[in-house]
Amino acid sequence: MQKHLLITISDDVRILHGVRFVGSFFANKSKLDITLLYVAPYAVTSGGDRTQRDLHRKNKEIYRRKGEASLGVAKNILLERGFSAENISSKLMFKQFGTVKDIIREAHAQSYDAVVLGKRGYAVFENIMKDSVSKAIMERDIGFPIWICRRPEEDRKNVLLCVDGSEPSLRMADHVGFMLQSEIEHQVTVFHADTGEKNVEAILDAAKQKLLANGIEQERINLQVVASTGVVKTIAAEVERKAFAVVAVGRVGVKKGGLKQWLVGSRSMKLLEDLEKAVLWVSK
């Protein structure tokens, strides 16, 4: 089955980490459709006097050229790494509702399997999360996995799937299984940082069944439990020890004012701060 990724693109072509990660991580590239998205940080307006309209036109052209240049570099990176041009499309849009909301609207409109954020995209979402109203909007609106690529090392392999028995972690297990169906060179370690919970075997088995249901072979699945007094530190140490390419987690939020706020106060948010060499996959 085809997978469809939305990769956000920034002006700085030196840090197209999301593009480079996708290009290096996936071997079976014919199974991936890629949409490259550049959201120009400029809102197009039609009002004002003649001088203002001329200025708007000039600014629009400047950002259009920047966007087209960045999209072109990103596409060439994918082509050089074995993607077919037929599987790559590009979109350039000007800011309408705010960068984050525009990305969310695009992701939902086209039902992408995941949204890939590079360093700039990560920073935009991080800044937005500082405002409580925006956090609540994001919690309601985001219904797709996000891949956060801060500065990944491209030679890494395999996925550390962190599970706790929650619905979000099971949805992430399903997502990992779906994305890795044809990626036989990657193994999945179903990982539980044990802080004294009961039914650990049931937690691991539930996630394993999601992987098997997606066609991940038994021999590609490893189960691991590590006693832990600090979940984030335990996960980070395991990632570094075995050089995983991806850490996959389900988002577990903290309730404030009746709303679960996206990533706020959660282990996922702490992992965002700690992970750099590996990519973080987060599922609502």
pLDDT, tens digit, 9 for 90 and up, residues 155-185: 899 999 999 888 889 999 999 999 999 999 9
User: For 202-215, how does the pLDDT look when each residue is reduced to its tens digit (9 = 90+)?
Assistant: 999 999 999 999 99
Residue 128: predicted pLDDT:
52
Q: Distance between CA atoms of 231 and 229, rounded to whole angstroms?
A: 6
Residue entry with tokens 């990660």: 21
CA distances for 192 relative to 83, 205, 207, angstroms: 35, 11, 11
Q: Distance between CA atoms of 34 and 28, rounded to whole angstroms?
A: 13
Contacts of 9 (CB under 8 A, 6+ apart): 16, 18, 19, 36, 37, 38, 67, 70, 71, 74, 118
Residue 47: predicted pLDDT:
64
Produce one character per residue of 128-141: b if its CB has 16 or more CB atoms within 10 Å, e if not: bbeeeebbbbbbeb
Give pLDDT < 70 ranges for the chain. 42-48, 119-141, 252-274
Burial of 257 (0-12, 13-18, 19+ CB in 10 A): exposed
Query: Which residues sit opposite 177 in a β-bridge?
Result: none
Chain center to CA of 27: 18
Q: How many CB atoms lie within 10 A of CB 191?
A: 25
Extended beta strands in the chain, E state: 3-8, 32-40, 88-94, 114-117, 146-148, 157-162, 188-194, 221-227, 244-250, 254-256, 259-261, 279-283
Contacts of 30 (CB under 8 A, 6+ apart): 84, 87
Residue 268: predicted pLDDT:
58
Q: How many CB atoms lie within 10 A of CB 97?
A: 11
Q: Which two tokens stand for residue 208?
A: 């394993």
Residue 246: predicted pLDDT:
96
Residue 139: predicted pLDDT:
54
Q: How many CB atoms lie within 10 A of CB 159?
A: 26
Residue 133: predicted pLDDT:
42
